[in-house]
Structure 1
């Protein structure tokens, strides 16, 4: 049976990413990808079977707008799933954690690692191809943190 904190975390994730009113319509493309790739069962299972929590780096619509037109549309469902998983870390990190030291983060995506560091005393996250500041915390309460980023970490063309 799922714990109260698991349900709270899933509810928070749904509210901040999927409900446009809650997210200020900044994450409409991320919302679409989460739903299309059916990530909620994966997230729920992780939260039910682990005490580690979850951290997601959610590209804003501004971030997706920087991609060449049609890049996302050309991806298969499997590639879209890999893309979404590469922006999620199966461990909870608070904004304060991200602001302290540089360290690697293993993502849900096979073989994809992100690195967190500091630039001008602000946390940045990097895929090795793209480095972007953590714009703000959308949700930062254990067991789930969601951080808005204004660049896509794993460009779709690298998944093709």
Structure 2
């Protein structure tokens, strides 16, 4: 049976990503991918079996707008799932690990391919932290 904190964490993740998208439209593409790839059971299992919480770096719609047109549309469901999994610090993606550091006293996150500053904290309360980024860390063309 899932603990209260697990349900809270899942609810928080939904609220910070899906609810703002309905009003602020900052994460509509990330929302669509999160729902399409059915990541909630994976996230729930992680939260139920780990005490470390969950940290996600959510690309804004501005970030996705920087990609060449059609890049996301050409991905298979498996590739989209790999892409979504790569957005979490506690990576669910095989072979992809995010690194967090400082550059000129500003927090940055790097996939090894792309390094970008953290734009702002969407939610930063245990057990779920979500940070907005304005670049896509794993270019879709590299998935395959």
- Pairwise same-fold verdict (TM > 0.5): yes
The alpha-carbon distance between structure 1 residues 21 and 152, as it changes in their structure 2 partners (threshold 3 A), is closer
Q: Distance in 2 between matches of 1:148 and 1:7?
A: 22
Q: CA deviation at 1:105?
A: 5.2
Aligned residues: CA RMSD: 2.6
Once the 2 structures are TM-superposed, how far is the Cα of residue 20 of structure 1 from its aligned partner? Answer: 3.8
Any gaps of 5 or more consecutive residues in structure 2?
A: none
Shift of 1:21: 5.5
Number of the residue aligned with 1:2 = 2
The DSSP-based 3-state class of the residue aligned with 2:131 is strand
C-alpha displacement at 1:116, in angstroms? 1.1
Alpha-carbon contact 1:127-1:153 (below 8 Å) kept: yes
Distance in 2 separating the partners of 1:104 and 1:15? 17
Report the CA distance shift for 1:129/1:142 in structure 2 as closer, same or farther (over 3 A). Answer: same
C-alpha spacing 1:11/1:154, structure 2 compared with 1 (3 Å): same
Change (3 A) 1:105 1:14: closer
Contact 2:64 2:136 in 1 (8 A): yes
1:23-102 matches, cutoff 5 A? 24-85=24-85
The TM-score normalised by the length of structure 1 is 0.84
Structure 2 CA distance for partners of 1:119 and 1:27, relative to 1, 3 Å: same
CA distance in 1, matches of 2:126, 2:117: 22
Contact kept, 8 Å, 1:137 with 1:148, in 2: the verdict is yes
Runs of 4+ in 1 over 6 A off after TM superposition: none
* Counterpart contact for 2:54–2:128, Cα < 8 Å: yes
Q: Distance in 1 between matches of 2:98 and 2:12?
A: 23
